[in-house]
Amino acid sequence: MSTPPATDVLDVDPLLDDPATRIVVCCGSGGVGKTTTAAALGVRAAERGRRTVVLTIDPARRLAQSMGLTELDNVPREVPGIDTSAGGELHAMMLDMKRTFDEVVEAHADPDRARAILENPFYQSLSAGFAGTQEYMAMEKLGQLRAGDEWDLIVVDTPPSRSALDFLDAPKRLGSFLDGKLIRMLMAPARVGGRAGMKVVNLSMAGLSMVTGALDKLLGAGLLRDVQTFVAAMDTMFGGFRARADATYQLLQAPGTAFLVVAAPERDALREAAYFVERLAADRMPLAGLVLNRMHGGAAAGLSAERALAAAETLTAENLEIDGIVDHRPGKSVVRSAPAADAEALEAHEAPQTSVPPEDPASRADSAASVAPETPEVPVASEAAPAPQAAVAAEDGSPASDSPAGSGPHPSDADTAETTATDDAVGLAAGLLRLHAERMRLLARERRTRDRFTTLHPEVALAEVPALPGDVHDLTGLRTIGERLAHQHAEETPASHRPADSR
């Protein structure tokens, strides 16, 4: 760990500003925001004065678009619109496996040999990138970028692969392959004599020919020959590959590297984050901390979910049964179901909101309600949220009808014309209260999930990034993410207590 913070707050600015920090790797499970975080960190570092390159491995073009580039390719392109007044700049590139592989071949083999390799069908499909190649080439590219020493900081995004940490295994796998007997055996027939290879193989001649014979029949003679030619042509280069992969691996362990594990505040994502944390420790990779992305904030945290729901119920019931109330002025509100003073007291009481009970009764009440899909509470969840137990309860799936979202029966549909204005407001008020209740529960759940993680991994520094209401699709969005990431309000200031949180 390069700069262990005294508290458990992950402070990204010092990390980005430190000239000793040369590589930041963002990893995490699928869809949690790795690419977004990598891009946001790149923008921030550049605008704080560092010459930065973001290496993305994401096949989607969205990142390029969010940086105002029509396309990203295998060479760093300068990102326009970056504030370079602090002396930094931002470049971005997307790993092109085939190009990277081709470049390696071209750089390390004489022209004839290079052509032989590049034209080999086995090579062509290998380099086009199936499982595995991506990881090697990511390491290769990272090594190149770092070796060039042209950049102050390299921010690396990791692929949405079966395991985001696969690239850590790349050197080992390549090594065991290269040390393996297979490769020598494969090379043997292509070499003059090929005796040396076979001696190492240490198999009886009969065994060897049985194997090649089997492979030959299985793969078709042509393929085996292609593979052999390829391996022979690559022979001298393999050592270099391996040395570079090993060097990059060591680079990742060096103090100039910082790994950030990105996670969403959800059980599964955090479970996987915990796995990453452990795996990085096992590989002695320097973990800078965890980015908890898309945490929800909430205003009016003093109004609890239960209270908001009860209030919504009151409104819905009144709105349906009392026709003709044109105006509800404070003085006239005869139909009040709870004294106002209560609410104020309640607010004062709940305001500190230090901890959330592990199982809040309201959410239990809610899941109980969803067993009976016809409860009046469900309008908030019309088409969208099929009650979980529906499958057990009703085959006809009534709660999951195909009506478009929001077109379900609104309380206000029952209104008479003369009362529209106010009853609209009442309907809206009920809706807002339900939304609030839902948000409060989400908040509570997210925090519980977070707290479970921090209890298990108190050593991991943490930064929270709020969920932005819109999608992140431009520099402004990336800047906002960077700011939120950097401005962690230390100690006990959960996102929800900051009114400006949700933009």
Partner 1 sequence: MTGKGGTGKTTVAAALALALARGGKRTLLVEVEGRQGIAQLFETAPLPYEERKIAVSHGDGEVHALAIDAERALLDYLQMFYKLGSAGRALKRLGAIDFATTIAPGLRDVLLTGKACEAVRRRDKRQRPVYDAVVMDAPPTGRITRFLGVNEEVAGLAKVGPVHNQAQAVMRVLKSPQTAVHLVTLLEEMPVQETVDGIAELRAAGLPAASVVVNMVRAGLPGEDQLLAPHRHTDELTGALARAFSQAGLGTAGGGGHAERLVAPLLEQGREHAERVALERGLRTELRAQGLPVRELGRLSEGVDLPGLYGLATALHDRWHTGEPA
Ligand X SMILES: Nc1ncnc2c1ncn2[C@@H]1O[C@H](COP(=O)(O)OP(=O)(O)OP(=O)(O)O)[C@@H](O)[C@H]1O
Show contacts with ligand X in window 271-310 (CB under 6 A): 293-294
Site string for ligand X, 47-66 (x = CB under 6 A): -----------x--------
38 vs 123: CA distance, rounded Å: 31
Whether 252 contacts 27, CB under 8 Å: no
Neighbours of 484 (CB within 10 A): 23
> What are the strands of the beta sheet with 257-263, ordered from one edge?
77-78, 89-94, 51-56, 153-157, 23-27, 257-263, 287-295, 462-466
Question: Which of ligand X, Mg ion, partner 1, none has residue 228 at its interface (CB below 5 to 8 Å by kind)?
Answer: none
Q: Kindly tell me which residue out of 20, 60, 86, 414 binds partner 1, with binding defined by CB under 8 A.
A: 60
Q: Restricting to residues 84-123, name those near partner 1 by CB under 8 A.
A: 121-122
Q: Restricting to residues 303-362, name those near ligand X by CB under 6 A.
A: none
435 vs 380: CA distance, rounded Å: 8
Q: Is 100 in the site for ligand X (CB under 6 A)?
A: no
**Residue with smaller CB distance to Mg ion, 58 or 366:** 58
The two tokens of residue 219 are: 């793969």
Q: Is 384 in the site for partner 1 (CB under 8 A)?
A: yes
205 vs 197: CA distance, rounded Å: 12
**Interface region with Mg ion, contact rule CB under 5 A, candidates 52-60, 89-97, 182-190, 206-214:** 52-60
Buried b / exposed e across 278-295, counting CB within 10 Å, b at 16+?
A: ebbeeeebbbbbbbbbbb
53 vs 65: CA distance, rounded Å: 16
Distant-in-sequence, close-in-space partners of 243: CB < 8 Å, separation ≥ 6: none
**Residue with smaller CB distance to Mg ion, 58 or 272:** 58
Our measurement of the distance from residue 242's CA atom to the centroid of its chain's CA atoms, rounded to an integer in Å, reads 30
Q: Is 48 in the site for partner 1 (CB under 8 A)?
A: no
The two tokens of residue 387 are: 């009650």
Q: Kindly tell me which residue out of 11, 47, 58, 366 binds Mg ion, with binding defined by CB under 5 A.
A: 58
Q: Is 160 in the site for ligand X (CB under 6 A)?
A: yes
Q: Where are the beta strands (DSSP E) in 282-346?
A: 287-295
**Phi, psi for residue 153 in degrees, rounded to 5:** -145, 135
In whole angstroms, the minimum distance from the beta carbon of 30 to Mg ion comes to 7
The two tokens of residue 454 are: 């921090």
Q: Restricting to residues 277-336, name those near partner 1 by CB under 8 A.
A: 298-300, 303, 307, 310-312, 314-315, 318, 327-330, 333, 335-336
**Interface region with ligand X, contact rule CB under 6 A, candidates 137-145, 242-250, 364-372, 466-474:** 466-474
Question: Which of partner 1, Mg ion, ligand X, none has residue 342 at its interface (CB below 5 to 8 Å by kind)?
Answer: partner 1
185 vs 326: CA distance, rounded Å: 91
385 vs 2: CA distance, rounded Å: 45
Q: Kindly tell me which residue out of 220, 255, 352, 376 binds partner 1, with binding defined by CB under 8 A.
A: 220
Site string for ligand X, 254-273 (x = CB under 6 A): ------------x-x-----
Size of the site for ligand X (CB under 6 A): 20
Q: Kindly tell me which residue out of 110, 112, 359, 395 binds partner 1, with binding defined by CB under 8 A.
A: 395
Binding site residues, Mg ion, CB under 5 A? 34-35, 58
Binding site residues, ligand X, CB under 6 A? 29-36, 58, 160, 266, 268, 293-294, 465, 467-468, 471-472, 481
